[in-house]
Amino acid sequence: MVQAPDFISTPGVFNITVEEDYECHGNESLIEVVDPNPVVPDTKNSILGDTFVKPLDPHTFRPRLALAAYEWSISLPAEKNKEIDDVLEYKITGNEIEVTWTAMTSGSYILHYGPLEKTVLVESLF
């Protein structure tokens, strides 16, 4: 609640009254607990390439560091009733993979290269 200033005793100063309305139901904490040792993703080695792509456009992905001992694989987490060949085409050349989403719908896929993985989100065509 804000009250009008008292021009006689304190010119130009507002008197403010504040009410706090909060209930703590036991398990809630008013203070956010911050982990002193947060887990930071290893960005030294990751899969390079776009995270958001459009259908019908080819996109090339490669590991940041060359790990020749691994093979590429693709999974479709959101498209449970679809086969990989129904929604995308891919071509592997050395340690690079070129992926083209061929379906006319949005979706997602996960690229795997050894211990590395990258989720790619396919946006709407329009």
For residue 89, the model assigns a pLDDT of 93
For residue 77, the model assigns a pLDDT of 83
Q: How many CA atoms lie within 13 A of 110 on its CB side?
A: 11
Dist CA 75 CA 108 (whole Å): 9
For residue 60, the model assigns a pLDDT of 95
Dist CA 79 CA 119 (whole Å): 13
For residue 13, the model assigns a pLDDT of 63
What digits encode the pLDDT tens for the residues 71-111? 899 998 866 667 888 889 999 998 899 999 998 888 899 99
DSSP H helical segments within the chain, as ranges? 84-87
For residue 74, the model assigns a pLDDT of 92
**CATH no. for 47-122:** 2.60.40.10
For residue 18, the model assigns a pLDDT of 73
For residue 121, the model assigns a pLDDT of 92
Q: Give every CB contact of residue 57 below 8 A, 6+ residues apart in sequence.
A: 100, 101
Global pTM? 0.62
What digits encode the pLDDT tens for the residues 1-27? 555 655 566 666 666 777 776 666 665
What digits encode the pLDDT tens for the residues 21-79? 666 666 555 566 676 666 666 556 789 999 999 999 999 999 888 766 788 999 988 66
